[in-house]
């Protein structure tokens, strides 16, 4: 009896297996579930046009190209490691509390595999502890504050794009290289964290690089002030030979239009650390001779290589305008996640978040904006070279150009590992390898 009890079900199972297996074997393998990314950037509000939309568009076109397996090697494997990627786009606009809620929704409700995004440093600072708490792989693409990885070690948060220190140090190095007789300079920056930090880094670097040049007018109009008549008069009545600004979008354009009418750029050189994001809109209204930064070797400051050409071409074909630096930052960030994912998946199967995070630490790769080394923040914060140049509107081609480009190696404009950016600048930028 026991035999019968065993044999009949076994026989039935064998028959069932015989009957089912061939049919099952003839069907194609079920496609792996797509890898889900949450892409967060400003889709509305003043930061949408200069940063948020280019970042979102950069994500869209890169994911599309990667899913089609059309990335340049080593990015030519479909999606991430052969699995297609799908993105959910979320607006960063709103209060910081809202940003954190949306982040939680992406991780807990939508179960995304990684979140890539954030432009505002306030958003990044608020999301970081939540990302660590939820053990959610999170890659910041544009926010600049160095505090993320200086305050404490992180496990799940990464940033491929260099932090903002590089922008101020690079601007100072370029200005000193181009204006050796500089004796006085001024600054006009927005009165919030970004403007204050940008000026502090630039001023600190200038004190090291050009100790005889003195800061004159230090202006901090409020964010989105729109009207800069008094500030322009103040600068016009100063003896400065250069004015530093980290203004962006509407504020930058308003300032440029208003100063152009009063000839400020004829009296002093404007150093616009984020100017690249505006040149395609402003064209011949951006004064020739303006020193232009792109928060790294992005846009027209990028070196020509296969990655840059691939990204520039797919973006320009789709959106009829060349990609600006936020688009490059997004592309670099997605490619960083792809490299980490594929490295973690090398053992087979879908890697866990912990495996991807472990693989992400300290990676190096070549992307559209040059070589990224995840060298700071215990391998969580990237550094790249940066470049500055001088703007010129080419009247023959009727296209914006950046000429006289000077490149600064990553180790020349970023602090060494383990040293806070502020302290590094204040101590004379020791260890800079230029």
Give the binding site for another protein (CB under 8 A): 43-46, 48-50, 52-53, 191, 217-222, 224-227, 229-231, 233-234, 236-237, 249-254, 257-258, 260-263, 281-282, 285
Return the number of the residue (105 or 254) whose C-beta is nearest another protein: 254
Distance of closest approach, residue 229 Cβ to another protein, in angstroms: 5
Angle at 406 between CA 400 and CA 408, to 5 degrees: 130
Rounded-to-integer distance, Cα 40 and Cα 48, Å:
11
Least Å distance, CB 223 to another protein, is 9
Specify the residue, 263 or 428, whose C-beta has the smaller distance to another protein.
263
- Rounded Cα gap, residues 257 and 279, in angstroms: 13
User: Quick check: 322 and 312 in contact, CB under 8 A?
Assistant: yes
The least CB distance from residue 93 to another protein, in Å, is 10
- Residue closer to another protein (CB basis): 46 or 416: 46
What secondary structure does DSSP assign to 65-95, as a single string? Answer: HHHTT-SPTTS-SSTBTTB-EEEEEEE--S-
Alpha helices in 105-192 (DSSP H): 121-134, 147-151, 165-178
Buried b (16+ CB within 10 A) or exposed e, 226-252: eebeebbeebeebebbbbbbbbbbbbb
Residue 416 CB, nearest approach to another protein (Å): 34
The partner residues of 381 in beta bridges, in order of sequence, read 159, 376
304 vs 314: CA distance, rounded Å:
15
CB closer to another protein, 192 vs 343: 192
CB of 308 to another protein, least distance (A): 24
Instruction: Considering the complex, state which of residue 231 and residue 342 has its C-beta at the smaller distance from another protein.
Output: 231
- Please identify, using beta-carbon distances, which residue of 112 and 282 lies nearer to another protein: 282
Q: Do 428 and 207 contact (CB within 8 A), yes or no?
A: no
Determine contact, residues 275/247, Cβ cutoff 8 Å.
Answer: no
Contacts of 359 (CB under 8 A, 6+ apart): 340, 341, 343, 344, 351
3-state secondary structure of 43: coil
How far apart are CB 376 and another protein at their closest, in Å?
A: 33
Is it true that the peptide bond before 74 is cis, omega within 30 degrees of 0? Answer: yes
Residue placing its CB nearer to another protein in the complex, 157 or 243: 243
Of residues 203 and 209, the one with the C-beta less far from another protein: 203
Task: Give the nearest distance from C-beta 236 to another protein in angstroms.
Answer: 6
Q: Which tokens in the block code for residue 261?
A: 């009418």
Q: How far is the CB of 44 from another protein (least distance, A)?
A: 6
């Amino acid at each position: 009896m026991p035999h019968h009890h065993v044999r009949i079900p076994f026989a039935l199972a064998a028959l069932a297996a015989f009957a089912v297996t061939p049919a099952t074997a003839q069907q194609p393998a079920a496609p792996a579930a797509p890898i889900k990314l949450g892409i967060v950037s400003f889709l509305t509000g003043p930061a949408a046009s200069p940063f948020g939309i280019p970042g979102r568009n950069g994500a869209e076109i890169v994911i599309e190209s990667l899913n089609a397996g059309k990335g340049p090697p080593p990015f030519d494997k479909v999606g991430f490691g052969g699995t297609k990627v799908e993105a959910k786009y979320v607006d960063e606009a709103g209060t910081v509390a809202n940003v954190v809620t949306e982040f939680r929704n992406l991780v807990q409700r939508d179960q995304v595999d990684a979140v890539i995004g954030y432009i505002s440093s306030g958003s990044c600072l608020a999301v970081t502890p939540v990302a660590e708490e939820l053990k959610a792989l999170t890659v910041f693409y544009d926010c600049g504050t160095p505090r993320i990885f200086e305050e404490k070690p992180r496990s799940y948060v990464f940033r491929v794009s260099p932090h903002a220190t590089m922008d101020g140090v690079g601007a100072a190095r370029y200005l000193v290289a181009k204006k050796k007789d500089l004796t006085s300079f001024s600054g006009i920056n927005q009165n919030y964290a970004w403007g204050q930090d940008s000026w502090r880094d630039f001023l600190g670097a200038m004190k090291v690089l050009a100790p005889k040049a003195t800061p004159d007018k230090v202006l901090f109009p409020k964010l989105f002030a729109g009207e800069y008549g008094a500030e322009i008069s103040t600068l016009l009545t100063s003896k400065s030979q250069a004015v530093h600004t980290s203004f962006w979008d509407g504020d930058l354009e308003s300032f440029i239009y208003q100063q152009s009418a009063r000839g400020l750029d004829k009296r002093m050189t404007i150093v616009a650390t984020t100017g690249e994001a505006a040149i395609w809109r402003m064209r011949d209204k951006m004064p020739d001779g303006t020193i232009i930064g792109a928060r790294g070797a992005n846009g027209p400051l990028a070196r020509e290589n296969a990655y840059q050409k691939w990204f520039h071409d797919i973006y320009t074909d789709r959106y009829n305008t060349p990609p600006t630096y936020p688009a490059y930052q997004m592309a670099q960030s997605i490619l960083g996640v792809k490299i980490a994912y594929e490295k973690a998946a090398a053992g087979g199967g879908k890697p866990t978040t912990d495996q991807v995070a472990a693989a992400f630490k300290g990676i190096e790769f070549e992307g559209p904006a040059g070589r990224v080394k995840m060298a700071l923040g215990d391998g969580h914060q990237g550094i790249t070279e940066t470049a500055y140049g001088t703007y010129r509107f080419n009247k023959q081609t009727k296209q914006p150009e950046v000429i006289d480009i000077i490149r600064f190696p990553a180790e020349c404009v970023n602090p060494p590992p383990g040293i806070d950016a502020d302290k590094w600048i204040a101590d004379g930028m020791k260890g800079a390898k230029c």
